[in-house]
Amino acid sequence: MAKKKKEQELGKKAVDTSSIMDLVGSTTDQPISETLELNYMPYAMSVIVSRAIPEIDGFKPSHRKLLYTMYKMGLLTGGRTKSANIVGQTMRLNPHGDAAIYETMVRLAKGNETLLHPFVDSKGNFGKVYSRDMAYAAARYTEAKLDPFCNELFRDIDSDTVDMVDNYDATMKEPTLLPTTFPNVLVSANQGIAVGMASNICSFNLKEVCQTAIALIRDPEHDILSTLPGPDFSTGGQLLFDEAATREIYAMGRGSFKLRAKWRYVKDGNRIEIYQIPYTTATEVIMDKVAELIKAGKIREIADMRDETDLGGLKLTIDLKRGAEPEKLMQKLFRLTTLQDSFPCNFNVLIGGMPRVMGVGEILEEWTAWRTECIKRRLYFQIGRKEERLHLLKGLERILLDIDKAIRIIRETELESEVVPNLMIGFGIDQVQAEFVAEIKLRNINKEYILKQTKAIDELEKDIQALRDTLSSSRKLQNVIVRELEQVAEKYGQPRKTEIVYDSADIQEEDEEEPVPDYPVTVFVSREGYLKKITAQSLRMSGEQKFKEGDSLSFSRETTNRAELLVFTDKFQCYKTRLSDFEDGKASLLGDYLPQKLGFDPEEKVVQVVMPGDHKGFVLFFFENGKAAKVPLSAYQTKTNRRKLTGAYSDKSPVRAILAMDADGQLAVYATDGRCLIFSTAQLLPKTTRSTQGVAVMSLKKKALVAAVVPVEDSGIADQSRYRTKTLPAAGALLKPEDSPEKQIAFEL
């Protein structure tokens, strides 16, 4: 019997299997084009629109649903709650597993350090963005609430600023966007991989983004690079600035930034400490690569490397072998490991449900337009509320005319349902006003209370008119946006974490070479661009300096053989070199021709030669149009011996003077119409970019140009107070005969 029963069960299973095979075999063939159109395309669009690509508020749907859930839970003002509770509540809006929701919250949390301005105030282990293997704790162990910074996300959400839609089961409402008061799309780093496209947006400094947005609102032609020098990452590090690449990213929305770790050498212990790494890598990746290089014999200077990261922050320590040079080792590590890495940018944002790759300027323009609509909706909402209140108070004002009549109508009305209609008839008010009057407490039916309430009528009418005036004026709407941006920047702005290293985008390891001998020399540069480097002994024995016919001395300085030289040209370029690259010369020789020696472009000429020394102080560029740019000498500092720097200064107007100064001083500016102006360079603020157009210093008359700029002590002007100004720009004063530049200075256009 048992054997027979077993055979019956096996037979049943066989029948079930065959029926399944019959079902599979009954499927019909479908053309691939139809499969793509009906099955694949809806899936692809769902991933693009509803999952991977951020919208103009800077959030993906998963971020938005989580933050809105926390807002509705009262976590913006209340205390922390268990993360598991937040994850469970979020499932009402986000029908995904708890692991996916919790991972979203981890990346938004302060403890993870992914964002410059975290949205979640966390408690517990949330892992670290710079660690691949440091796992975050489970949701039941951690706690969280919204950071006060989220006030800028939800400030206007209850004022009908954004559309509210049903959630997936139509049991509650959720916002389609969050009405952020600042361009969060550029402040919060965001990465997403969709179907057939991706998005990778780097983070920028909040204060710089707000300043740039304000500047573009006031002047659509504003140079973004002057207020937004580069991205800012939560992990710090250094940004190797490349102006051409940065401008391309700002214009097109695609490109890459080069990042590098920050390190220090600790002499006591002969070790290197790396304390900030690029945003795109992890400590374990770096450690693994260094171990691989040591094993392969490519690096021999390292005795030991360990991860000493603790509560104080990230720290990778490298113990050096005796005689190892820290600088050369780090250059090698930058070249061979991710201690120097690139952040690829792809500014792909959903605009109106359609993905668009945009530059920074276009993103800010779209955000401003969207924010303008939010503010309009808020104003309409406020007007509606005030008009409702005004309507009720005007009904109350009618009652003021005869309070006794209102009481008599209510007392003499037999049915409760007829009280409101009788009040409407008795005072000529509508049903809403009558309902409001009928609900007034008995204790409030006195003249004093009603007068207090109706006094607000004039104020409400003024407020409504002011709101309508703002709505009808694009300038006033812009002022509202600007005011809010200024408040956000002032309240939440932070110093940059990522240091910008100018002119180092293409830094390569320096070739090992023999030490350059150092000895005193005197350098001479002629107006035509000939350079002579003469030793102290040769100079004592030499006679008069020889120059080419028609040429003369332009620059001379006592210095050393290892000194660096900056050669500025009329093509807005700067060539960096060292005097050690030139042979020692004699006074009787013409010297080396700089355009040929440094590889100038055709017809490029020397404008000025500057010796930066230790790169302290600044370079002052004075242009024909009366503007001046004050650029720190550190902007021209690089590690290489010689390098060509494009965009060394602004090309908007011909330069008339280039002065290197260790400290602020007084300068005399001469114009072609005979005017002179004396001002202090302390009145000029240093600019972050070399190619800045500068600020107006001298207000020029029609057809007048700046002719020359010299230090006051070299001008020979007797009555300096006549030409001095404390406010810029200024027109200066006409030169007296005794102060005439013909007697003191020789210059020509």
> Whole-angstrom distance between the N-terminal and C-terminal Cα of the chain?
119
Quote the tokens at residue 56: 């103009």
CATH number of the CATH domain containing 153: 3.90.199.10
DSSP helix/strand/coil, 176: coil
Whether the predicted pLDDT of 336 surpasses 70: yes
Above pLDDT 90, what percent of the chain? 49
CA atoms within 13 A on the CB side of 386: 19
Find the domain containing 666 and state its range: 520-744
CATH number of the CATH domain containing 432: 1.10.268.10
Instruction: Assign 350 a pLDDT band (cuts: 50, 70, 90).
Output: very high
Question: What 8-state DSSP symbol labels residue 709?
Answer: E
Per-residue pLDDT tens for 286-297? Answer: 999 999 988 877
The whole model's pTM is what? 0.65
Pair 451, 534 in one domain? no
| pLDDT of res. 742 | 56
Domain-ending residue, one of 443, 476, 509: 476
Residue 230 lies in a domain: no
Pair 620, 709 in one domain? yes
Q: Which residues pair with 193 in a beta bridge?
A: 198
Residue whose pair of structure tokens reads 């403890």 in the numeric block: 111
Residue 391 lies in a domain: yes
Pair 154, 277 in one domain? no
Angle formed by the axes of helices 98-108 and 61-72, to 10°? 80
What residues have CB less than 8 Å from 395, skipping those under 6 apart? 427, 429, 430, 432, 433, 434, 436, 437
**In contact, 461 and 427? CB cutoff 8 Å:** no
List of E strands, 156-270: 164-166, 173-175, 190-193, 198-201, 238-240, 254-260, 262-266
Q: What's the rounded Cα separation, in Å, for the pair 40 and 740? A: 81
Which of 1-10, 353-362, 631-640 bottoms out in mean pLDDT, i.e. has the lowest?
Answer: 1-10
Domain-ending residue, one of 442, 476, 510: 476
Residue 225 lies in a domain: no
Whether the predicted pLDDT of 717 surpasses 90: no
Give the pLDDT mean for 632-644: 74
Whether the predicted pLDDT of 551 surpasses 80: yes
Q: How many residues are recorded in the chain? A: 749
Whether the predicted pLDDT of 459 surpasses 90: no
**In contact, 178 and 162? CB cutoff 8 Å:** yes
| pLDDT of res. 419 | 86
Residue 250 lies in a domain: no
Which of 77-91, 265-279, 479-493, 647-661 bottoms out in mean pLDDT, i.e. has the lowest?
Answer: 647-661
Domain-ending residue, one of 476, 503, 528: 476
DSSP helix/strand/coil, 248: helix
Pair 461, 554 in one domain? no
Pair 163, 87 in one domain? yes
Nearest to 610 by CA among 645, 583, 586, 639: 645
Whether the predicted pLDDT of 558 surpasses 50: yes
Between β-strands 173-175 and 164-166, what pairing exists: parallel, antiparallel or unpaired? Answer: antiparallel
Pair 550, 606 in one domain? yes
Q: What's the rounded Cα separation, in Å, for the pair 224 and 186? A: 13
| pLDDT of res. 163 | 94
Q: What's the rounded Cα separation, in Å, for the pair 172 and 661? A: 66
Instruction: Assign 640 a pLDDT band (cuts: 50, 70, 90).
Output: low
Quote the tokens at residue 711: 């230090």
Whether the predicted pLDDT of 728 surpasses 60: yes
- How many C-beta neighbours within 10 Å does residue 527 have? 15
Angle formed by the axes of helices 474-492 and 360-400, to 10°? 110
**In contact, 623 and 656? CB cutoff 8 Å:** yes
Residue 651 lies in a domain: yes
Highest mean pLDDT among 46-50, 242-246, 423-427, 635-639: 242-246
| pLDDT of res. 35 | 78
Pair 529, 640 in one domain? yes
Residue 7 lies in a domain: no
Quote the tokens at residue 216: 């573009």
Please calculate the CA angle 583-585-587 and round it to the nearest 5 degrees.
165
| pLDDT of res. 748 | 41
| Total domains present in the chain | 4
Per-residue pLDDT tens for 523-540? Answer: 999 988 899 888 888 887
Whether the predicted pLDDT of 747 surpasses 50: no
CATH number of the CATH domain containing 332: 3.30.1360.40
Pair 562, 688 in one domain? yes
Pair 452, 537 in one domain? no
> What mean pLDDT value characterizes the chain?
87
Instruction: Assign 380 a pLDDT band (cuts: 50, 70, 90).
Output: very high
- How many C-beta neighbours within 10 Å does residue 104 have? 21
Q: What's the rounded Cα separation, in Å, for the pair 642 and 508? A: 12
Instruction: Assign 92 a pLDDT band (cuts: 50, 70, 90).
Output: very high
Whether the predicted pLDDT of 674 surpasses 90: no
| pLDDT of res. 265 | 94
Pair 556, 416 in one domain? no
Active-site position among 40, 43, 141, 168: 141
Whether the predicted pLDDT of 189 surpasses 90: yes
Cα Rg of the chain (Å, integer): 36
Respond yes or no: is residue 130 known to be catalytic. no
Whether the predicted pLDDT of 505 surpasses 50: no
Which of 104-118, 237-251, 417-431 bottoms out in mean pLDDT, i.e. has the lowest?
Answer: 417-431
Instruction: Assign 117 a pLDDT band (cuts: 50, 70, 90).
Output: very high
Residue 430 lies in a domain: yes
Residue 36 lies in a domain: no
DSSP helix/strand/coil, 120: strand
Phi and psi at residue 527, to the nearest 5°: -65, -30
Give the pLDDT mean for 489-494: 95
Pair 407, 272 in one domain? no
Pair 549, 692 in one domain? yes
Phi and psi at residue 708, to the nearest 5°: -160, 160
**In contact, 716 and 739? CB cutoff 8 Å:** yes
CATH number of the CATH domain containing 635: 2.120.10.90
